Amino acid sequence: MTALENDPQQLDTVLFDVDAQVATITLNRPERLNCFNRRMTEEIAALWARVRDDDDIHVAVLRAAGDRAFCTGLDMADGPWWSDQNIWNQQDPGAQLGPKQHRVWKPVIAAVQGMVAGGGMYFLNEADIIICSEEATFFDPHANGGMVSALEPIGMLRRGLPLGDVMRWALVGNEERITAATALRLGLVSEVVPRERLWAGARALAEEIAARRPEAIQGTVRAIWESLDQPPSLAQRHGLSFAQLGNRGREKGLAGGERRETRFR
């Protein structure tokens, strides 16, 4: 375990807390619209490793401080810190920011408010569940800066967003923004809530999932994500092996946990 993973007090750009088997990661650069720099990238990578390896953590909630933005991508004031490296050794920051790149098979719930611009999608493209507030907007500034937009829209396509809408998002630039209502229609988010209910709603959902048998939940998450890279026939066989492995050792008579009141959405 690295020093950053072991001591949250050393964190400068994010906040980290674990309570009742739920880890909460808060992007904490509101004065910079929560854009990421090298320090934040390193801290996020260390925290994903902590979430992955700590068996007392069952679910993670990812959120951001402030009201204006969830994340506006790379901090352009600092610029790309990897450009002085050998071209064959360079790695896109998305490889450090996304939980699945770190083999985090515990559910990650993203609670989004304000703006999500460009590289902010690195966080969302690998989240399992995304909820947003009513004023949230999503856009890509790459085109305005004359830059190629590639990995972020590729990740959106992998999530199942329609090709035409992803193309429009990547090519139009700052002048057009996806609203919360459109994000819900496209399947980018699964729920839209008032801003004052955003964090509480994400927390309640996380606690509900965290109460389930963790081996079953993590096996479900891994089976679904790994199926995205496989042809259907292989995904079916692979999924069966996960069920056979993950359901072994289940206590006899286990009814699936506490029954809760049924809700509809």
When pLDDT is averaged across residues 137-160 and rounded to a whole number, the result is 95
30 contacts 66 by C-beta, under 8 angstroms: yes
Residue pLDDT, tens place only, 75-90: 988 767 667 778 787 7
The type of residue at 114 is G
From 17, 64, 31, 25, select the one nearest 44 (Cα to Cα).
25
Q: Look at residue 252 and tell me whether its pLDDT is greater than 60.
A: no
pLDDT of residue 197: 98
Q: What percent of the chain has pLDDT over 70?
A: 91
What stretches of the chain adopt beta strand conformation (E)?
A: 14-19, 22-27, 59-64, 69-71, 108-112, 115-117, 129-133, 137-139, 178-179, 191-193
DSSP class of residue 74 equals B
Residue pLDDT, tens place only, 185-214: 999 999 999 999 999 999 999 999 999 999
From 99, 118, 96, 95, select the one nearest 110 (Cα to Cα).
99
Across the chain, mean pLDDT equals: 91
